[in-house]
Structure 1
């Protein structure tokens, strides 16, 4: 089987500047490692928070960025005006669809409601068979521990099949993220999601 090819990685993450520094350090490391792999960053185009940190780090090390931003959020104080390419969409739904279309892989760094919504959407699309791309939940400093604990409740109470653990990978550091993506083999998921 030939290796899964990655050129564009969507990173979902916080746009807040008010979070702990260790999250910024991890975002910086991810940007550096993505640049080393010559992977283009696909993201919401924000210039603040972890979004801005990943993009800045990646560009500093020679990587390329593709910011996809809805018209409503195209405000100079919010967007990264240094993106190599920008796509402005009519609304959030179009933005998310474009990110899914362009990206070969998805990484969810720590983030808020928007990050969770994007993560759940790509997981659901994979569950339903609309794509079979890698999804990584970056559980830096145990950020997603409670969410992952809730996932265990879904499995235990049979609201989700055990096989859907294959929908995503859990990584505790950037090395684990890169290793998973480099060696990704698309799983043969059960298409009978409704049973």
Structure 2
């Protein structure tokens, strides 16, 4: 399975890097492919290294203005013309999406993926990996949107909230039908 992971390129505390390494190891050992932003810095590097070390494949999609941080060794690397094309390529190359901790770029990617799913533009499973409660506030907001009728489909059909890596990958494998 090709799993797109949206996440930060920042150097982060161990409470975020440890669970990211765990997810990466599970992904690689499961024979899955990481589809990610192509960066070789911060949390993106942690996950790419972990997948590679565990035997998984790497498919990167970067963008020209981030060229200085592009990972040199990947099974495939595409350079998009802009961020919009990058997001479209990341989604097109994946069977499922995982949203890990990140800043405004990650939040932008997450909301666009969910908006596209809401409108039936894709039906790929989406997991929000809520490492160390990072997305508790966002989860609360989504629950409120669902409860008050702002979502045209149930929240459970839009996104799955996982508290740990093993639960995230199990949900994806079940959703996609991987054994």
Q: Scaled by the length of structure 1, what TM-score is found?
A: 0.86
Partner of 1:14: 8
Partner of 1:95: 86
**Moved runs in structure 1, 4+ residues, more than 4 A?**
none
Partner of 2:144: 153
What displacement does 1:145 show? Answer: 0.2
Partner of residue 18 from structure 2, selected from 21, 25, 29: 25
Partner of 1:191: none
What displacement does 1:157 show? Answer: 2.8
SS at match of 1:65: strand
CA distance in 1, matches of 2:15, 2:72: 25
Larger relative helix fraction: 2
Partner of 1:83: 74
CA distance in 1, matches of 2:160, 2:146: 16
Q: CA RMSD in A?
A: 1.4
Partner of 1:58: 51
SS at match of 1:47: coil
Partner of 1:108: 99
Matched-pair contact (CA < 8 Å) for 2:143–2:155: no
Matched-pair contact (CA < 8 Å) for 1:127–1:164: no
- Alignment of 1:43 with 2:36, yes or no, is yes
Matched-pair contact (CA < 8 Å) for 2:4–2:90: yes
CA distance in 2, matches of 1:156, 1:11: 28
Q: Which blocks of at least 5 consecutive residues in structure 2 are unaligned? A: none
Q: Which blocks of at least 5 consecutive residues in structure 1 are unaligned? A: 1-6, 187-195
Structure number with larger C-alpha Rg: 1
CA distance in 2, matches of 1:84, 1:70: 17
Q: Scaled by the length of structure 2, what TM-score is found?
A: 0.94
| TM-superposition CA deviations, 1:89-139 (whole Å, max 9, x none) | 111111111111110000001111111111111111111111111100000
Matched-pair contact (CA < 8 Å) for 1:16–1:49: yes
